[in-house]
Chain A
C-alpha cells in the first residue's frame, strides 16, 4: 500500500467511472432528496415541507413493522446461511472432478433471474400440486403459504437459503483452498483435534472472505424485493412485506412521493450505517 506512487493524474483514469456512476447515482438521489422535502398535488406544483415526511415515516406504525420484519428476516437468513455455507465448504472435496461438479451445480441458483426463483418456489411449494407443499401436507403438516403467516415465512426463508447459501460456500471455499498444506501438516504433528484446526487455522484464514460474505448477504437480503414479491406478494396480509416491497407499494402503487422519498433515504442510511459499523468493527479487531 505504502509503495504506491502519489499521482493526481490518476483522476483521468477514474473519470469515466465517476461520470457514469454519478449520472446514475447522484441525479436520482437528488430527485429523491427533492421529493422528500416537498408536497405535491399534481401538475408539477411543489411546496416546501421541510422534514415533515421524515417525521411522519419515522413515527408510522407501518414503517416500524416493515423495518422489524426486515431485521428479523435478515437476521434469520444470516444465522442459517453463514454457518451452513462454512460447513458445506469444509466438507467439499479438494481435488478431482468432484470440485468442478460441486462448483457448477452449486452456482446454478445464483444465476437464475430473481423472479424465476420466486416463480419456481411458487410452483414447488403449492399445497395441491407442488412437490414440497404436497409432501408436507401428506406428512400431516398443515402447510399453506398463501394463507398462514408461519408457512409463508418458512417458505421465504427456505427460498433465500436455497438461493444464496452457495455464495457463502464459494467464498468460504476460496478462503479454505488458499491455506497452505504445511499448516495442516504441522497441526497433524501436534495432534490437534479437528475442532482446533478449524478454530485456530481455518476460521482465522477465512475471516476476510467471510467479512465479504456477511456484508454481501446483509446488503442483498436487506434489499430483497423480487423473490418474496413473486412468491407471496407480501402476504398473507402484510406478514412478508419487507422494506423494499413496502417502498415500491408506496411510491409506484399509491404515488405517495414525499413519504416514499423520505423512507428511501432512511432505508439507504440504515444500510450504510450497519455496513459501516460492521466493517469498522471487524477491521478494528484485526489490528
Chain B
C-alpha cells in the first residue's frame, strides 16, 4: 500500500502537465499543421510563432504592460499592508475586528460587480487606460489579502522584540524599518508572491480598465482569438510565454508557498 503512495502525486502531476504539454506542442507548429494533422509532437518544428510575438510591438507591449502593473500593485499592496498588519497583530483599537472583517469582505466581492463602476471611477479621475488604474484596482483584493497573510507572520514574532527595542530607545519608525521588517522578510516574500499571483492572473478588471495604451497581454490574446481568424499556434505561443513569470516566482518561493496561507488567521 505505502509502496504505491508515490503513484498518487505522480498521476496528479501527469494530469496537470498534459494540457500544458499540448499548449507547448501547438506553439511549435504552424497553422497548417495544427488544422491539417493530428500529431503528438510537431512534425515541422517552427519558432515562427514566438518570433512574431517578440517582434510585433502589440504583442510584447502586452507583456510589458502586464508586468508593470503587477509589480506596481505588489509594491503598493505590501507597503500599505505592512503598518496595518502590525497594528492588527499588536494592538486592540476601536472597531478593529469589524475593520478586519470589512477588509476581508472585499476579497469576496466578485470583480464582475465592480467592472462597470471601476470604469466610471477611473475615467473620472483621469487614470483610465493607464497601468496605474489596474495597479490600484487590484488593491481591492490584494491589500486585504496582504494584511491577512502579514498579520499571521507578525503574530508569530514575540512581542519582547518590540519591547526591548523601545527600551533601547528606538523610535517606532526606526524600530519598524531597521529591526522588525528584516525579521519578517520571509513573510514579506510570501505576501509579495500571493499579490503577484492574484494580480497576474486577473483579467476581467485589467481588461475593462484599459483600451489601447496599457492593454495587458491577456487582452491582446482575447483580441487575437476573436479577430484574426483562429491563429491557434500564435495564441498557444503567447499562452506558453505567460507561464514563465509564474514559474520563476514559484522557484524562488517554493519553500514558503505552503506556509503562506496556513499562517494567516481566519
Contacts and interface: CB of A to CB of B under 8 A. Distances in A.
B87 to A, nearest CB: 4
A10 interface: yes
Question: Is chain B's interface secondary structure helix, strand, loop, or mixed overall?
Answer: helix
Contacts of A119: 221, 225, 235-236, 239
A214 B92 CA distance: 29
Interface in A260-287: 260, 264, 267-268, 271-272, 275, 279
A6 B22 contact: no
Nearest to B93: A10
Interface in A173-191: 173-175, 177-178
A177 B258 contact: yes
Contact of A248 (B18, B115, B147, B257): B115
- For this complex, into which size category does the number of interface residues on chain B fall? 35 or more
A87 B93 contact: no
B71 interface: no
Contacts of A100: 254-255
A42 interface: no
A6 B91 CA distance: 6
Nearest to B236: A123
Interface string B1-31: 0000111110011011111101100100000
Interface stretch (B47-55, B133-141, B179-187): B133-141
A153 interface: no
B83 A129 contact: no
**Of B9, B114, B235, B236, most A-chain CB atoms within 10 Å:** B9
A105 B17 contact: yes
Interface string B107-126: 11111111111101100000
Interface residues of A, number: 96
A16 B116 CA distance: 25
Contact of A120 (B23, B84, B103, B117): B23
Contacts of A7: 91-93
B111 A225 contact: yes
B216 to A, nearest CB: 8
A105 to B, nearest CB: 5
The 5 closest A-B CB pairs, nearest first, are A111-B246, A28-B117, A174-B262, A91-B8, A13-B87
Interface in B223-252: 225, 232, 235-236, 239, 242-243, 245-247, 249-251
